[in-house]
């Protein structure tokens, strides 16, 4: 916590402001106190947002929703004024470190009994949030604060007020609704977000609390690889207690409809309020911290002396907090307040929540001419592609992972990321790539060393493993699929019109966006329709799809498809070809 600056307000409503806690995309966060001494985190909206009628209307709606949430394992609203010149809202100040700090830099993975208590309480918090008509959208360890009596979920609801403001507010302020490692598959694909997305986040949080690891890897693998894993790969649950693996697996289901609701989890995981919910040594330290914060009268820029944590149970003495936690706990009041700042601070959670390029100190050895997305046909040609490569290059210095790829062709789709070896104005050399994703499992090998040469602002020559191809600049982001592909397509030959269908959704490269249904024949005297889903590996010059994955409804006679390539010819004709077929099939847009 820091002292107030000259231009800071001294009072907001019934709250006297006594110090600065942090800043976020929405504005400044202060520590405030009511006349009865109760502390609060007071968020004051910055002037540019307050002047935006659209933001103010959404802010008013969200604050009203927050009042309905109540305080069951959340930070309740203590006061607000949405009509003031500087709108503000005050929530309960939570004197405790985040789950990220405790697991990542202090106590380590939590014991099984604590995990059960954490699960039940977080489910009840989500039940209250969802019951108020809100979706958290960013449930992660740094948004869960630990206190003596239980966890508190923070930063829900209000961030959505930033979502509809004109002028690209989220880009201009750095606010991102969702941290990559804790996003749900539907968030990754840019689809509609429902309360089920929070349940996926709950599953990821529980894996981290139980193991200290992330279920799909960290953002150090590259944002694209991480999001690909979330959408397509199974989570790594090694180390999760057997008593929770079934629940965690259900929460991490790719299909939102298959995940349990917060109500169902709360009913399944019961917690005994009479039992301590945390290990004794951790509870003792949190108690001392809470007492110190609640009785503190004036802010100070200097941390209190670091307390020494002595485990009460000698059997668990091996799990003493590491030395690094001394500073974390001593500064927990500051850290907890900063966490309330709508995550606009510069801190990092275990996900590496910032997008690629967030490390501004990294050496910019990659010339700007190389950065961005590139795609091209590696084997075959545009009319009859056999293998298509998508390459995404980011900034970085020697040894940094700067080049991620999706290689689609034949019977497989492979993804990896390579580190920079050398760079000059025209040529980039990337070391042999480390494999990050593969479909199907066990079929891919790492990419050989790649040499990239800029031929023009829009053409990059790629050389690797004896192959050479020209890659062209392509699009990225959540709406990378060209609009002319989006929609439903059926066979051009009316005789087969009822026997096949291609459905293409908008979304990012790496998303499972295409479903193809076709008739496989007869089974038991009835027609059998096989439906499979595909990951988009590239969007230009063709839509390259990895090997299909059949839905649960598909029968045993359905044949696993190889890679598929789609090309729009004219306004209403879609050419459908496979790497092993000689001639493409023709589809037309469904009327």
206 backbone dihedrals φ, ψ, rounded to 5°:
-65, -35
Q: Residue 474, preceding bond cis, omega within 30 degrees?
A: no
> When comparing pLDDT for 572 and 134, which is higher?
134
Instruction: List, for residues 242-254, the tens digit of each pLDDT value.
Output: 999 999 999 999 9
| Residues facing 588 on adjacent strands | 490, 573
pLDDT of residue 559: 62
As a whole-number percent, the residues of the chain with pLDDT over 90 amount to 26
The alpha carbon torsion through 110, 111, 112, 114 (nearest 10 deg) reads -70
For all residues of the chain together, what is the average pLDDT?
Answer: 77
Helices (H) and strands (E) in the chain, counts: 13, 26
Instruction: List, for residues 271-289, the tens digit of each pLDDT value.
Output: 655 467 888 778 777 766 6
Instruction: List, for residues 421-457, the tens digit of each pLDDT value.
Output: 999 988 999 987 777 778 887 778 878 889 999 988 8
CB 26 within 8 A of CB 43: yes
> When comparing pLDDT for 438 and 346, which is higher?
438
Q: How far apart are CA 48 and CA 113, in angstroms?
A: 47
Instruction: List, for residues 355-371, the tens digit of each pLDDT value.
Output: 333 333 334 589 989 99
Our answer to whether residue 138 is catalytic in this structure is yes
pLDDT of residue 389: 95
Instruction: List, for residues 547-587, the tens digit of each pLDDT value.
Output: 887 764 545 566 666 888 998 886 678 888 775 555 778 88
pLDDT of residue 341: 29
CB 290 within 8 A of CB 148: yes
Q: How far apart are CA 466 and CA 392, in angstroms?
A: 21
DSSP string, 456-496: ETTEEEEEETTEEEEEEE---STT-S-GGG-EEEEESSGGG
CB 15 within 8 A of CB 32: yes
Confidence of residue 70 (pLDDT cuts 50, 70, 90): low
Confidence of residue 590 (pLDDT cuts 50, 70, 90): confident
Token reading at 394:
């980011």
Instruction: List, for residues 97-113, the tens digit of each pLDDT value.
Output: 889 988 886 678 999 98
Q: Residue 64, preceding bond cis, omega within 30 degrees?
A: no
For the entire predicted model, the pTM comes to 0.52
Mean pLDDT of 342-346: 31
- Furthest-apart CA atoms within the chain: distance in Å: 82
- 36, 138, 313, 483: which is the annotated catalytic residue? 138
pLDDT of residue 277: 84
| Residues facing 459 on adjacent strands | 456, 472
The SS3 of residue 165 is coil
CB 17 within 8 A of CB 9: yes
Neighbours of 403 (CB within 10 A): 26
Q: How far apart are CA 132 and CA 236, in angstroms?
A: 33
Mean pLDDT of 512-524: 71
Distances (CA, A) of 38 to 33, 321, 373, 400: 5, 30, 52, 48
- Look at residue 173 and tell me whether its pLDDT is greater than 70: no
| CA proximity to 119, closest of 213, 246, 214, 234 | 246
- Look at residue 304 and tell me whether its pLDDT is greater than 90: no
487-491/372-380 β-pairing: unpaired
pLDDT of residue 1: 60
Mean pLDDT of 384-410: 88
């Amino acid at each position: 916590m820091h002292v107030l600056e000259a231009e800071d307000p001294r009072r907001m409503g019934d709250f006297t402001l006594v110090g600065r806690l942090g800043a976020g995309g929405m504005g400044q966060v202060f520590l405030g106190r009511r006349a009865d001494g109760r502390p609060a985190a007071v968020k004051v909206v910055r002037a540019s947002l307050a002047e935006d009628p659209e933001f103010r209307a959404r802010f008013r709606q969200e604050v009203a929703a927050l009042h309905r949430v109540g305080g069951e394992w959340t930070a309740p609203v203590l006061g607000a004024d949405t009509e003031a010149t500087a709108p503000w809202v005050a929530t309960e100040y939570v004197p405790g470190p985040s789950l990220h700090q405790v697991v990542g830099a202090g106590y380590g993975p939590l014991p099984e009994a604590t995990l059960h208590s954490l699960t039940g309480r977080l489910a009840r918090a989500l039940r209250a949030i969802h019951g108020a008509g809100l979706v958290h959208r960013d449930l992660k360890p740094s948004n869960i604060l630990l206190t003596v009596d239980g966890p508190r979920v923070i930063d829900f609801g209000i961030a959505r007020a930033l979502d509809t403001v004109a002028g690209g507010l989220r880009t201009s302020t750095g606010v991102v609704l969702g941290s990559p490692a804790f996003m749900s598959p539907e968030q990754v694909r840019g689809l509609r977000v429902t309360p089920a997305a929070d349940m996926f986040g709950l599953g990821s949080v529980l894996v981290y609390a139980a193991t200290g690891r992330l279920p799909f890897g960290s953002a150090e693998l590259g944002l694209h690889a991480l999001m690909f894993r979330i959408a397509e790969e199974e989570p790594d649950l090694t180390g999760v207690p057997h008593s929770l693996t079934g629940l965690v697996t259900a929460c991490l289901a790719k299909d939102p409809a298959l995940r349990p609701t917060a109500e169902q989890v709360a009913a399944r995981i019961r917690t005994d309020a009479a039992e301590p919910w945390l290990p004794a040594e951790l509870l003792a330290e949190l108690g001392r911290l809470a007492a110190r914060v609640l009785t503190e009268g004036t802010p100070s820029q200097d941390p209190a002396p670091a307390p020494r944590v002595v485990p009460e149970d000698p059997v668990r003495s091996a799990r003493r907090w590491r030395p690094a936690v001394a500073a974390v706990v001593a500064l927990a009041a500051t850290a907890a307040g900063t966490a309330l700042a709508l995550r606009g601070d510069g801190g990092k959670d275990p996900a590496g929540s910032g997008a690629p390029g967030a490390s501004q100190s990294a050496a910019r050895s990659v010339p700007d001419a190389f950065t961005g997305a590139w795609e091209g046909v590696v084997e075959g040609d545009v009319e009859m592609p056999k293998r298509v490569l998508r390459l995404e290059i980011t900034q970085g210095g020697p040894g940094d992972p700067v080049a991620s790829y999706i290689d689609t062709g034949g019977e497989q789709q492979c993804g990896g990321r390579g580190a920079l070896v050398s760079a000059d104005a025209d040529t980039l050399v990337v070391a042999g790539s480390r494999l990050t994703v593969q479909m199907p499992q066990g079929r891919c090998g790492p990419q050989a060393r790649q040499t990239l040469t800029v031929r023009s602002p829009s053409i990059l020559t790629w050389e690797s493993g004896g192959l050479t191809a020209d890659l062209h600049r392509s699009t990225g982001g959540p709406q990378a699929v060209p609009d002319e592909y989006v929609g439903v397509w059926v066979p051009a030959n009316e005789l087969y019109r009822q026997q096949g269908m291609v459905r293409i959704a908008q979304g990012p490269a790496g998303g499972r966006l295409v479903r193809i249904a076709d008739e496989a024949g007869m089974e038991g005297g009835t027609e059998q329709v096989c439906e499979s889903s595909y990951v988009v590996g590239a969007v230009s010059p063709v839509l390259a799809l990895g090997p299909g994955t059949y839905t649960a409804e598909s029968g045993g006679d359905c044949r696993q498809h190889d890679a598929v390539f789609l090309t729009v010819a004219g306004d209403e004709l879609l050419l459908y070809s496979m790497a092993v077929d000689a001639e493409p099939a023709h589809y037309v847009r469904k009327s």
